[in-house]
Amino acid sequence: MKKPCRIAALVLAAGYSSRMGIFKPLASLGTYTLIEEAATRFLRAGITDVRVVVGYRADEIKPVVDRLGVRWILNADYDRGMFSSVLAGVKSLEADVDGFFLLPCDIALVNPETIRTLFNAYDPDDPKIIYPRFDGRRGHPPLIPTAYLRQDLPSDYPGGLQVLLGSYEHNAMDMDVIDENILLDCNTPLDYLALVERRSREGVPTEGECGAVWSRLKVSGDVIAHSVLVAGLARVLAVHLNSAGLVLSLPLILAAGRLHDIAKGQPDHAGAGARLLAGMGYARVGAVVARHTDIQSHGPSVDEADLIYFADKCVEEDRLVSLEDRFKKSMARYADRPGIREKVMGRFENARNIGKRIEAFLGRPVEEVIGRHERSLRAESMSGGRMIYMVRHGAVQSPADPKRFIGQLDLPLNAEGLRQAEQLAEALLDTSLSAVFCSDLERSSDTAQIIAKPHQVSCVPRRDLREISLGRWEGMSFDEVRSVYPDEFHARGRDIVHYRPPEAESFLDCSFRVIPAFQEILNSTLGNILIVGHAGVNRIILSRALRRPLEDLFEIDQDYGCLNIVVHRPTALEVVLLNGSVSDLYEVESKLIIPGHPNRAGE
């Protein structure tokens, strides 16, 4: 039996948040701030001794901490760096505290189950530093024996905490957890947007976390192949139903589809899987999984559990089949066992009933919808993703010399721009595009229409995809702006992310409309899509996909008429072509299974 021990939690919230442009501890993640989210995770995990180290703007944080019922510790030397906050927190610990969790407040969404896992692994008779690990990478919060920091250490200790803990590496251990949030910090505006998005899907595992569940439970490859196809089919139906007016959660559907058979082979495998997921902190997903074999579904609407049930009945092993074909074998197999045959018949009727309700919303047969997407579903289940083709509009009619700020000036394409658009249209002719998006500025919409025309796909113009607004500077040459607005021109050069020219946007402002628009596009579409953007807009999206800070966005080149290709998986983006040309397309396609594309190296 484990010897009782006293474990505290130190949450660090004393720094300047200088890279963020906003004060991180009090930044909102919806209902709660980062500091509230970080501290309450420990309380929910059963760690009652939680202490928040404050410093910069402490008077604003202390009332929030007081309302949580936890202690705050003042670090008067917060300007000396994070290690000074660690030492201030450790100094507050009583002699009988065996160990402590250490968590920067911007790593705010750690699963309480992760904290419980580390706590249960801690042995006071053999104290070790315990690091949570996901996908082979260590994250936060480590659980550290207090004795390792009891000595009188200076705040300018060479190398800080990392070097100090590294000296105890011989007495450290890693604990694999199903929690991608241990890796998510918040150092840039794009990090913050990602954190807000992640908070909105609390309790629903990411694609990577689903993979970790499969790995931990040793789920077979055959079950995984079946589950991926079920998830993809359910998502296709959900997107169509949402377009018809329903509000179904795509992340919940994808996770439940991927994990619905994790207990396959066990008695009542649906219930067993639901209990496993609830124990991991995924009760919402478990509630859907629990209903995927038998379902009591009535009324005119359709929910997430209905879709998983229906999709599961339309997939046999890793093949799409009709309901009739799926149940024909079972009916024949149990022809001489009326009790079991009656249950099978009941499941068939339930699936058929759900299918009729889906058709009532969509106004067309389910088989027609599935048939339209069958090819891309099969390809997506093989490649694990779909393609986002992102181009910059063609060259525009604007004085070439001197160089000018264009921003949201509505300029048409010039002859070269039209030629670039035609070249892109020819290159993408054999690619299946399910949707095309552009801004409402002429240069973007004209480029999009030229590319989309052979695909018979309407272009969807969006005002939130416009180029960054440059206010009074638009139409002025660089030299004119430097002369008329010298201070503002240099201020923008010093802080390209946060500086806002007169009557204009900063790149941070622009990102706060572009990233939500991009995410909405991803969540509302199926198959491969095309986005015709602008240099600034594309750089913002690509910065996120590449996990680069906005401060570096001008390191991403975006020439007129360039082509970028991003592989989109349910919770991941991978850039496979950056600022490329049509001549690069063949090489990229030959290395990938492109959903909906007759690869020259394949078929």
pLDDT reading at 481 higher than 80: yes
| Whole-number pLDDT of residue 178 | 96
Is residue 603 in some structural domain? no
What pLDDT digit, counting tens, does each position of 273-302 carry? Answer: 999 999 999 999 999 999 999 998 778 899
| Whole-number pLDDT of residue 596 | 43
State whether 326 and 463 are in the same domain. Answer: no
CA 256 – CA 243 distance, rounded (Å): 21
Is residue 141 in some structural domain? yes
CA 498 – CA 516 distance, rounded (Å): 18
What pLDDT digit, counting tens, does each position of 502-560 carry? Answer: 999 999 999 999 999 998 898 877 778 999 999 999 999 999 999 999 999 999 999 99
Is residue 574 in some structural domain? yes
Is residue 1 in some structural domain? no
Q: Which amino acid is residue 142, in one-letter code? A: P
pLDDT reading at 145 higher than 90: yes
Are the CB atoms for 365 and 322 separated by under 8 Å? no
Are the CB atoms for 227 and 259 separated by under 8 Å? yes
Which residue segment(s) compose the domain that 224 sits in? Answer: 207-381
Q: Of 381, 412, 434, which closes a domain?
A: 381
Is residue 289 in some structural domain? yes
Q: What CATH number corresponds to the domain at position 112?
A: 3.90.550.10
What's the sign of the alpha-carbon dihedral 100, 102, 105, 111? negative
State whether 483 and 338 are in the same domain. Answer: no
User: Residue 390: which residues within 8 A CB-CB, separation 6 or more?
Assistant: 530, 531, 533, 538, 541, 542, 563, 564, 565, 566
**Percent of the residues in the chain that have a pLDDT greater than 70, as a whole number:** 94
467 tagged catalytic: yes
Is residue 121 in some structural domain? yes
pLDDT category at 380 given cuts 50, 70, 90 is low
Asked if residue 141 has a cis previous peptide bond (ω within 30° of 0), the answer is yes
What pLDDT digit, counting tens, does each position of 77-88 carry? Answer: 999 999 999 999
State whether 448 and 402 are in the same domain. Answer: yes
State whether 196 and 289 are in the same domain. Answer: no
pLDDT reading at 189 higher than 90: no
Structural domain total, the chain? 3
Whole-structure pTM value: 0.75
Q: Of 343, 361, 381, which closes a domain?
A: 381
Residue 526 φ/ψ region, left for φ over 0, alpha for ψ in the -120 to 50 degree band, beta for the rest = beta
Give mean pLDDT, residues 146-160. Answer: 84
What pLDDT digit, counting tens, does each position of 410-446 carry? Answer: 999 999 999 999 999 988 876 778 789 999 999 999 9
State whether 230 and 335 are in the same domain. Answer: yes
Instruction: Report phi then psi at 291, rounded to 5.
Output: -105, 10
**Which stretches of 384-536 are assigned E, i.e. beta strand?**
386-392, 435-439, 459-462, 529-533
Is residue 2 in some structural domain? no
Nearest to 51 by CA among 59, 38, 60: 38
| Whole-number pLDDT of residue 387 | 87
Residue 518 φ/ψ region, left for φ over 0, alpha for ψ in the -120 to 50 degree band, beta for the rest = alpha
State whether 187 and 229 are in the same domain. Answer: no
State whether 373 and 391 are in the same domain. Answer: no
Q: Which amino acid is residue 444, in one-letter code? A: S
What pLDDT digit, counting tens, does each position of 18-57 carry? Answer: 777 789 999 999 899 999 999 999 999 999 999 999 999 9
Are the CB atoms for 88 and 73 separated by under 8 Å? yes
Out of 37, 467, 505, 589, pick the active-site residue: 467
State whether 534 and 580 are in the same domain. Answer: yes
pLDDT reading at 486 higher than 70: yes
Q: What CATH number corresponds to the domain at position 305?
A: 1.10.3210
State whether 281 and 365 are in the same domain. Answer: yes
Residue 378 or 290, more confident: 290
What pLDDT digit, counting tens, does each position of 195-235 carry? Answer: 888 898 889 998 789 989 999 999 999 999 999 999 989 98
Q: Of 364, 381, 398, which closes a domain?
A: 381
Q: Which residue has the tokens 């021109």?
A: 489
State whether 357 and 404 are in the same domain. Answer: no
Give mean pLDDT, residues 344-365. Answer: 92
In the three-class reduction of DSSP (H, G, I as helix; E, B as strand; rest coil), residue 497 is classed as coil
What pLDDT digit, counting tens, does each position of 252-273 carry? Answer: 998 999 999 999 999 999 999 9
State whether 243 and 182 are in the same domain. Answer: no
393 tagged catalytic: yes
Out of 140, 292, 373, 393, pick the active-site residue: 393
Q: What CATH number corresponds to the domain at position 550?
A: 3.40.50.1240
pLDDT reading at 316 higher than 50: yes
Is residue 597 in some structural domain? no
State whether 396 and 370 are in the same domain. Answer: no
